[in-house]
Each structure stands twice: as structure tokens, then as C-alpha cells.
Chain A
Amino acid sequence: MILGAGGGFMYVKHLQSENEILTLNNAKLNDAVEQQQAVIEQQLRDIETKTEINKQLSENNAKLTADLNLANEKFNKVNASGERRDVGALAVAKPKSIERIEGKREQQRARCFEIAQGSPLTEEELNATKKSQINAECTSIANPNYVPY
């Protein structure tokens, strides 16, 4: 009887000990699960951020592609005979002329920035109505009275 009771007591103690270990393990597992959830949430936020960055990159890429197409259209336009102008080839044949044109365009671009930052238009810019008088880099803001023809 005593032995039976002692055995039962020992069994209960053993169960209590096991239960404590299991409780501790459970707590550790809960901590681990919480940590994993935090990691997963962070990863989800990272994915959202990356998706947003990708979206912005795609938008910028589309704008740059459009600008590049426009620049190609502008620089390598097709003449009346259907021949595409090659500014690169022109620069090889007439380097000083192309450098001079680019220098002028660079000055026009600088003026565009000035105007965009609030610089008032000059009389010359306001009165420009012919193609040879306009700022080819930002005609819409530099020469409001120019009507393309």
C-alpha cells in the first residue's frame, strides 16, 4: 500500500516535472512563433516596399524611355526622302559644327532651369515667334508666344 502510494506520488511528481518542462517548452515555442510572425510581417513590409520601389522604377523607366524616344526622334529624325538623320555621323563629319550646336543647346537648357526657378522671361523670349528665335529645349515655358508651324 505504502509502496503503491509512494509509486503514485513519484509518478505524479514526474508528471508535474514533465508538465513544467512542457510548459516551458510551450512558452519557448510561443516566443519562437511570435518571433517568426514578426519576421514574416517584416518580410511582408519589405515586399511592399520593394513592390513600391519597383513600381517607381518602372514609371521612371517609362518616362526615360519616352524621353529617349523623343530625343531619338528629335536628333535622328527622318528627312523628306525617308532617310534617317544620324547625328553621330554628322558629328564625325562636322565635329565643330555639332559641338557648337550642342554648346548652344546647353546654354538653352541652363536658361530653362532659370525660367523654371522663377526667372522672368526676356523681351526677346516673349517676342520669339520664329523657329530660329526660340529656345528649342523648353519652348513651352520660354517662348509662350511661339506657335509651331
Chain B
Amino acid sequence: MRVEILEVLEGHFGKDKDITVDSHMMDDLGGDEFDIVDVFVQIESKLGISIPEEETFDIMTVSALCEVVDRHVQSD
């Protein structure tokens, strides 16, 4: 997982959370749908990328989040 993504997730959900690629942002980290949108906005800002909203729909796990972010970091 990218350090920047982990930093955003820890900053958002808390460093006390055991955040891994298998973490579910709602079930394991206690977030809601708005938190996931918020996390994407923060990651976009931190990495200077832009991810089309459609690609972020239904993303719940950290692994899926990393995948879509990686795709745009490489392409941007």
C-alpha cells in the first residue's frame, strides 16, 4: 500500500485502527459512505490526481481503493 494512502486512512479513521489492504472501510474501520468519498477527495489532493467518480462507486475495501488510485497515479 502506498504510504500516502495509509497516511490518509490513518488520519481519517485513526492510527489505532489496524489498517491493512484487507480492511473494509465500513465494516472494519467504522466509516460510512461519506467517509469513503472524503478519503478519495483527500487522496486526490495529496497525490495531485483526479479519479472519475464512477470508478469510486461501491469501493469499500482498502485493496480496491489502492487499485484504483494506483491506476491513476500511473496514468496521470
Name A residues whose Cβ lies closer than 8 Å to a Cβ of B.
Answer: 75, 79-81, 85, 87, 90, 93-98, 100-101, 104, 130-132, 136, 149
Chain B residues with Cβ under 8 A from A93's Cβ?
41
Knowing A87-B34, A90-B38, A94-B40, say if A132 contacts B15 (CB, 8 Å).
no
A-B contact pairs, 26 of them (CB 8 A): A79-B12, A79-B35, A79-B38, A80-B11, A80-B13, A80-B14, A80-B15, A81-B11, A81-B12, A90-B37, A90-B38, A90-B41, A93-B41, A94-B56, A96-B53, A96-B54, A97-B56, A97-B57, A98-B34, A101-B37, A130-B24, A131-B26, A131-B32, A132-B26, A132-B27, A136-B32
CA distance A63 to B31 in the complex (A): 26
Does B64 make an interface contact (CB < 8 A)?
no
| B interface residues, Cβ below 8 angstroms from A | 10-15, 24, 26-27, 30, 32-35, 37-38, 40-41, 53-54, 56-57, 60
Residues of B within 8 A of A101 (CB): 33-34, 37
The answer to whether A131 and B35 touch across the interface, beta carbons within 8 angstroms, is no
Q: Are B27 and A104 in contact (CB under 8 A)?
A: no
Chief secondary structure at chain B's binding surface: helix
- Distance in angstroms between the alpha carbons of A87 and B27 in the assembled complex: 21
Whether the pair B34, A85 counts as a contact (CB closer than 8 A) is yes
Are A75 and B34 CB-contacts (below 8 A) given A80-B12, A80-B14? yes
CB-defined contacts of B10 to chain A, threshold 8 Å:
80
Roughly how many angstroms separate A81 CA and B17 CA in the complex, as a whole number?
13
* Complex alpha-carbon distance, A98 and B13, angstroms: 20
Distance between Cα atoms of A98 and B53 in the complex (Å): 10
Query: Which of A80, A101, A149 has the most chain B CB atoms closer than 10 A to its own CB?
Result: A80
Contacts beyond the supplied A94-B53, A97-B37, A136-B32: 5 A-B pairs with Cβ under 8 Å: A79-B11, A79-B12, A80-B14, A90-B41, A149-B30
Tell me the complex Cα distance, A80–B16, Å: 10
Chain B residues in 8 Å Cβ range of A90: 34, 37-38, 41
